[in-house]
Amino acid sequence: MNSNYWSWDRFAEAFPIILEGLGTLVTVTISTFIFALLFGFVWTFLRRIKNKQINWVVTWVMEFIRSTPPLVQLFFIYYAWPVMPVIGVTLSGFTSAVIGLGIHFSTYIGEIYRSGIESVDVGQWEASTALNLSTWDKWRKIILPQAFPPTIPMLGNYFIILFKEVPITSTIGVQGILFMANSFGAQNWAYIEALTIVGLILLALSYPSAVLIKKLEVKMNTRFDKNAPIKIDKEVTQ
């Protein structure tokens, strides 16, 4: 059978093979997103350091990371990281994927956090000072509870974007759905069915997620109306 033409038999043969990589795709996506969420706080608080030199360096590094293709960053971490071989440490494809994509997306998430923090009304900062709260209590009880919820829809959008970027980790040996599709295509000289399955799986998972994020965004915008008065919880003063 000519492999240049569509074959439903090959499609049926490839589907369960490619589906074996779905678990890896989901694991890498969730692990990377958690890493990005945590590392995003690092960028946020580094940007808040009131030192022009430090702020300039942090901003430049973030812009450099955002301006560099994620694929190049993955190659650098996996193949060309100069320190690891010297000290006898090698990174697996999974670890390289989580670190590479995690740092890349953390630069965007850090900016989301920063916008959320800056959206907190100045009166809330003044109130926390007037209440003589410690720095920890101020952030935990007043600032973050108001800053974080409105950022959830934006974080959700980046989660979907990350989900669609994770398949490029097949280039460093992560055995996700794209890796399995390429392996099937190479063995059978038939890529069209395998890559079509990858596209369908990504669509089946990302589209419902996008709809859910859109509904969440509407809900959050309604709940956190800028015109609505902001009140400090009574527990804060206790």
pLDDT tens sequence across 207-224: 888 888 878 777 766 665
pLDDT tens sequence across 169-202: 999 989 899 999 999 988 888 889 999 999 999 9
pLDDT tens sequence across 112-137: 998 888 888 888 888 887 887 787 88
At 58, the pLDDT band (50, 70, 90 cuts) reads very high
Q: Among the CATH numbers 1.10.3720.10, 3.30.750.24, 3.30.70.141, 3.90.1150.10, which is that of 8-237?
A: 1.10.3720.10
Higher pLDDT, 217 or 145: 145
Higher pLDDT, 136 or 228: 136
Q: How far is CA 77 from CA 32, 83, 110, 198, in A?
A: 15, 10, 21, 26
Q: What's the DSSP call for residue 141?
A: I
Query: What's residue 99's pLDDT?
Result: 94
Using an 8 Å Cβ cutoff, are 22 and 166 in contact?
Answer: no
Query: What's residue 208's pLDDT?
Result: 86
Q: Any idea where the domains of the chain sit in the sequence?
A: 8-237
CA dist 238 and 235 (Å) reads: 5
At 38, the pLDDT band (50, 70, 90 cuts) reads very high
Confidence check: pLDDT of 237 > 70:
no
Higher pLDDT, 189 or 26: 26
Which residue blocks in the chain are alpha helix, DSSP H?
8-19, 22-47, 52-67, 70-75, 93-118, 122-130, 135-137, 144-147, 152-165, 177-188, 192-223
CA dist 146 and 158 (Å) reads: 20
Using an 8 Å Cβ cutoff, are 116 and 47 in contact?
Answer: no
Using an 8 Å Cβ cutoff, are 80 and 102 in contact?
Answer: no
Whose structure tokens read 């950022």? 151
State the Cα angle at 91 between 191 and 17, rounded to 5°. 25
Q: Closest Cα to residue 138, out of 38, 116, 49, 130?
A: 130
pTM exceeding 0.85: no
Confidence check: pLDDT of 35 > 90:
yes
Q: Closest Cα to residue 1, out of 181, 196, 193, 199?
A: 193
Q: Closest Cα to residue 126, out of 143, 151, 105, 144?
A: 143
Query: What's residue 85's pLDDT?
Result: 60
Query: What's residue 84's pLDDT?
Result: 60
Across the chain, mean pLDDT equals 84
